[in-house]
Structures are given as structure tokens and as C-alpha cells.
Amino acid sequence: MSTTTVAAVDLGASSGRVMLGRVGPDELRLNAVARFPTGSVALRDGLHVNVVELYRAAAEGLRTAASTVDDIASIGIDAWAVDYGLMRDGRLLGLPFHYRDGRTDAAVADVHASTPFAELYAENGLQFLPFNTLYQLAADRAAGYLHYSDSALLIPDLLAYWLTGNASAEVTNASTTGLLRVDGSGWNDKLIERLRLPRSILPSLVRPGETIGHISGTAASATGLEGVAVTAVGSHDTASAVVAVPMTGTDAAYISCGTWGLVGVELEHPVLSDAAREANFTNEGGVDGRVRFLHNVMGLWLLSESVRTWEAESGEAIDLVALLGAAAAVSDEQPVFDANDPRFLPPGDMPSRISAWLAERGMPVPQSRTAMVRCIIESLADAFADAVLAASELSGKTVSAIHIVGGGSQNDLLCRLTAKRAGLPVFAGPVEATALGNVLVQARALGAVTGSLEALRHLVARTTSPRRFDP
């Protein structure tokens, strides 16, 4: 086994990055070569993903990577879940909708009228989120768009298609469509037919570690990487993040903490009980056929939208680290709101929405920005602690530690309050777990590292230094 160099394209909701990874049996290093915005674009007809710009920025980042080193053996792509582009004859038919667009409201009612949620859950094991792909496709069918389309490609699959010319559906991200059998063995033809969705638009599945294709055509000159393999990774960003959680025992919960807080445990088999459904826990597909049994908590979106609102009001940039430092020094007790309330899903003025939520219940409303930030972080920590406890109870798995990975692992206040509210030690880091999971799965496919996810996690644990917060 020798060390290999691979590139990761990692598209999160708050930023996209291209990273170079050097991976070997005792080596795991990441180097960021490009970072670019990934935010949604509001057009007259709704909120969209500017996926063409994402492709351009990713290709440019790959070109920078190719000019930095000359031995890139493979690239892997991950992005947020559920969103897709509709294609015909290899052409993108329009900008994909963004999952925070509200167009699925009618489709949810329509789908549940024909297939009650409990029946859907038994088939796909997914928590209810109004933007799950199956509701988005039902909205597109109602709008007549599916007539024109011959395939639907999830965001990372679309980028892989533009790079290689090969259309596929990577299985961890496909699990977030709601149209995959819960054991990940294939598309659920019976459910797809029942929902009156065209089976023909769903491409064949690939699994993490398989080769999707090789960079060719216009992508070769855009990236400077002609002929380089595009390897399937856990293309759902959360699946890649879970690969790189440095859990070395079996008794840990994880929180993949960025725009969203994905809180749960890894299992061998799905939990489809009434209690899991009622608690809105999901069974998403993990790398190597594992199950990501987790709950979506609204996450640092609450904070980033608040900061965006305040910056727009004042016209001045806010220093996030200073703001969090001030919030840590707030000594008055702040109220806790339900971070999972769906009113916080669409973009907008979060401080006003949070104040309204509290006022409706006769609770005190934070009177300053720092108090509001403290209230947000307390509420997130509370939701995280609840979800860890629920994950443990619903799965029967003992949890004696929590790992927080992703950008939110830099938020000391959040880590400290999560430890306190959960009564468990929190280990924070790595920040770039998603990119690490992406490069590790590629490196394993190339033979530079071997073994199970546990072996990969041991390598992460040996090469990074998580910070400990005690309750």
C-alpha cells in the first residue's frame, strides 16, 4: 500500500470547496484549494440552485488542484441531499429547485392522500421532510415538467455526469429520495408506480467505491484532468461526514453540524418502529450498507440567517467569532424555543420568527443580538441533546459520548452546552469531516488504505485531535 492523492468536491449549503487529500496507511492530510458560495437564487418562480455556476466553480477548483500537484488519481463529489436536475437527451431542462422552496406544500397533501405517511415510512424509512425528493417530483409531475424529462440527476450525480458523460445515482444520496428500498438494494418499483412517478427517469445505482467514469470532453479542458477517474463516494454529504467521525468504540452518537444538525447513531439495520416514525427519525443509507439513523435538527442555519438579517439591516459585516464570544458571556438565563419548528425552514428574518415563537407562548424575548445568539445556541443544544437521547432509546444502542463534526464543531459554546444538556462528553472535530470521508472512500477504492469503516475512523482518530467538552 502506498500513499495516494485524490481530490474532493464538497458542496455544503454554506460553501463549496475543492480539497486535495493525501491518504495512506498512516497518513491523512487535507489541503483546501478552492472555496466558493453555494447559496440559493430567488427567481420569480421560486428558489433555485445555480448548478451551472457550481459546476463552473468546481471545475475551476479542480484546475487549481491539477496545477498544484501532478498525481491526482481520482476525484469524488458530495453535496447536500434531495435536490435534482431534470434532464432530456443529456441537457439540463432548467435550474433545479432548492429544497427550501415551498412548492411542495400541495404535493405533500396529494402524496399522503394516496399513500399515508405510515405506509411510506414502512417502505423507505425516511423521516418526514416536506422537501424529500419524492414530494418534489410529485410537484414537478403536477406542474407537467416530468413529461419533458428523460432523467432526474441528484446534484452530485449531475456534476459527475457533466465531468464524465455517465449518468448514475449514487446509493447513499438516492436513499434521501424516498424512492429506494429501505435496505438500499434497488429502486422501489412498487412505490414509484403507486406514486405515479416515471420509473424511467431514475438512473442505475452506483455504490461508494465504484468508478462512475473518467473526465472527458469539455470537462477535460475545464479541469486539466483528462482521463482521471470520478469515483463514487458517499455522495450525500452527511454520509461522507459519518465515515470520518472519529468514533473508535460502538457507543457514540454523532452530530454532523453545519447548516443542519444531523443527530444520530450508525446501525447495521433500519429501525422502522411506530416510535421511530412518530419521533421523525430517518434511516438513510450509509457507506458500506450501514444505516444512518438520525434526525434533522434545523442547525446553524438559524444563526447564519440571523447574521444575514442583521448585516442587511446595518450594512455592516458581523464577526461571527466575536459574536459567539459575546454570547458565551451572557449570564442571564435565555428562553429555549423549538429549533425544529417548520417555520424556520425558509430563508428570512430568523430573529423576528424566533421572537414571534416565544411571544406566542408568553415567554421572554431576547432583548439584544448577543442574547438572541445565546438563545439560538441554547435551543440548538437542547434539540441536539433530545435527539441523542431519542436515537439511543429508539435504537436500543447505548450512547456514552457525542462526536460533533463539521463547521459547527468550532462553536465552543454549542459544544459545551450540548455536553451540559445531554450530560455526556462531547468530542469536537474534525471540521472537514465530509471532505475527509470523501477522500477516504476514494483512497480505499484505490487500495491506499484497506478495511472497514472502523479502520478508516481509526485513521481519522490517529491523525486529528478532537477537543473534549465535559458536561
CA distance 173 to 158: 12
Grid cell listed for 46: 421560486
Nearer residue to ligand ADP within complex by CB, 17 or 421: 17
Q: What, of ligand LRH, ligand ADP, none, does residue 303 touch, CB below 5 to 8 Å by kind?
A: ligand ADP
Q: Please, what is the minimum distance in Å from the beta carbon of residue 104 to ligand LRH?
A: 13
The closest of 46, 49, 148, 157 to 104, measured between CA atoms, is: 46
Place of cell 460502538: 250
Q: What, of ligand ADP, ligand LRH, none, does residue 61 touch, CB below 5 to 8 Å by kind?
A: none
DSSP state of 96: P
Residue of minimal Cβ distance to ligand ADP: 407
Q: Which residues contact 156 (CB under 8 A, 6 or more apart)?
A: 9, 11, 77, 78, 79, 170, 173, 235
Q: What, of ligand LRH, ligand ADP, none, does residue 64 touch, CB below 5 to 8 Å by kind?
A: none
Nearer residue to ligand ADP within complex by CB, 125 or 406: 406
Q: What, of ligand ADP, ligand LRH, none, does residue 158 touch, CB below 5 to 8 Å by kind?
A: none
Q: Please, what is the minimum distance in Å from the beta carbon of residue 154 to ligand LRH?
A: 11
Identified catalytic residue from 237, 251, 349, 470: 237
Angle separating helix axes 155-164 and 51-68, nearest 10 degrees:
60
CB 132 within 8 A of CB 82: yes
Nearer residue to ligand LRH within complex by CB, 7 or 239: 239
Nearer residue to ligand ADP within complex by CB, 321 or 455: 321
Distances from the Cα of 250 to the Cα of 153, 253, 393, 467, angstroms: 35, 9, 15, 19
Q: Please, what is the minimum distance in Å from the beta carbon of residue 99 to ligand ADP?
A: 12
Q: Please, what is the minimum distance in Å from the beta carbon of residue 311 to ligand ADP?
A: 14
For ligand ADP, the binding residues (CB under 6 A) are 12-15, 258-259, 300, 303-304, 320-321, 324, 406-408, 410-411
The closest of 455, 454, 452, 450 to 2, measured between CA atoms, is: 450
CA distance 400 to 250: 9
Q: Please, what is the minimum distance in Å from the beta carbon of residue 256 to ligand LRH?
A: 7
Q: What is the dihedral of CA 275, 281, 287, 288, to 10 degrees?
A: 0
CB 417 within 8 A of CB 378: yes
Q: What, of ligand LRH, ligand ADP, none, does residue 411 touch, CB below 5 to 8 Å by kind?
A: ligand ADP
Q: How far is CA 28 from the centre of its chain?
A: 22
Nearer residue to ligand ADP within complex by CB, 14 or 450: 14
Q: Please, what is the minimum distance in Å from the beta carbon of residue 234 to ligand LRH?
A: 11
Q: What, of ligand LRH, ligand ADP, none, does residue 238 touch, CB below 5 to 8 Å by kind?
A: ligand LRH
Q: Please, what is the minimum distance in Å from the beta carbon of residue 284 to ligand LRH?
A: 7
Q: What, of ligand LRH, ligand ADP, none, does residue 270 touch, CB below 5 to 8 Å by kind?
A: none
Grid cell listed for 228: 482521471
Catalytic residue check, 183:
no
Nearer residue to ligand LRH within complex by CB, 129 or 419: 129
The closest of 145, 148, 42 to 102, measured between CA atoms, is: 42
Q: What, of ligand ADP, ligand LRH, none, does residue 1 touch, CB below 5 to 8 Å by kind?
A: none
Cβ burial 375-413 (10 Å sphere, 16+ → b, else e): bbbbbbbbbbbbbbbbbbebbebebebbbbbbbbbbbeb
Q: Please, what is the minimum distance in Å from the beta carbon of residue 173 to ligand ADP?
A: 15
For ligand LRH, the binding residues (CB under 6 A) are 12-13, 80-82, 99, 236-238, 259-260, 262, 296
> Vertex 77, ends 238 and 245: CA angle to 5°?
35
Nearer residue to ligand ADP within complex by CB, 11 or 267: 11
Amino acid identity, position 398? T
Q: Which residues contact 346 (CB under 8 A, 6 or more apart)?
A: 100, 102
Q: Give SS3 for 85.
A: strand
Nearer residue to ligand LRH within complex by CB, 187 or 260: 260
Write out the DSSP string of 415-451. Answer: HHHHHHHHTS-EEE--TTHHHHHHHHHHHHHTTSS-S
Q: Would you please indicate which residues are annotated as catalytic (active-site) residues?
A: 237
